[in-house]
Amino acid sequence: DAGVTQSPTHLIKTRGQHVTLRCSPISGHKSVSWYQQVLGQGPQFIFQYYEKEERGRGNFPDRFSARQFPNYSSELNVNALLLGDSALYLCASSYSGSFGEKLFFGSGTQLSVL
Amino acid sequence: ILNVEQSPQSLHVQEGDSTNFTCSFPSSNFYALHWYRWETAKSPEALFVMTLNGDEKKKGRISATLNTKEGYSYLYIKGSQPEDSATYLCAFNNAGNMLTFGGGTRLMVKP
């Protein structure tokens, strides 16, 4: 069975550009969440989606947006990139989005902003 | 902003040693506490999700305990092996719509 897949694995952008990151959850999982991980820190929550609706949003500016599609895959969009957006972006899926469930993570997209 | 602290930040042990590390979290409005293992170049992998005060979970040589009243969880590894080398992350949820991670404990097991 395929796990959570993310694309691309690596990405280099320049300041001011826009980026779209993609995530496909485990088959049957209806919830996707996004995390930003900066070296030396734990992952920080960005968004959670369940059944195509935003269920939670972390403390990130409006430059960050996301959506979930009918097949439960998800996109994270970041506009007007800043140097500080350089990080590993992790996607995780779960069946119902309850925090009493384990999350299943993808391998992440490493974003470098120059 | 919820504060989830893990200690120590890093730990070097010899193969065969047993070890433990701590996750501290707010003691009010507890809902769930997660532990993940994150090996280099791989995805974080769930170890345990605990929801009840006094919960104890075990998976092979790894076990975890939970005290929600005082706001801490311990992760124990018995007889550490080199393949246990990884970063161990805990994450806390207070029934809100987010999971707050600690900074992780980086474990290195020397053969």
Q: Give yes or no for a contact between B76 and B20, defined as CB atoms under 8 angstroms apart.
A: yes
Q: What pLDDT was estimated at residue B36?
A: 98
A100 touches chain B (CB under 8 A): yes
Q: What pLDDT was estimated at residue B96?
A: 78
Q: What pLDDT was estimated at residue B95?
A: 78
DSSP annotation string for A1-60: ----EEE-SEEEE-TT--EEEEEEPPTT--EEEEEEE-TTS--EEEEEEETTEEEEE-S-
Q: What pLDDT was estimated at residue A1?
A: 62
Report CB contact under 8 Å: B49, A102: yes
| CA distance linking residue B111 with residue B87, whole number of Å | 18
Average pLDDT score over chain B: 95
- The beta-carbon neighbor of A42 closest among B89, B96, B97 is B89
The ranges of chain A with pLDDT < 50 are none
Q: What pLDDT was estimated at residue A97?
A: 87
pLDDT, one tens digit per residue, over B50-92 is 999 999 999 999 999 999 999 999 999 999 999 999 999 999 9
DSSP annotation string for B40-87: TTS--EEEEEE-STT-EEEETTEEEEEETTTTEEEEEESS--GGG-EE
| CA distance linking residue A104 with residue B45, whole number of Å | 7
Report CB contact under 8 Å: B96, A56: yes
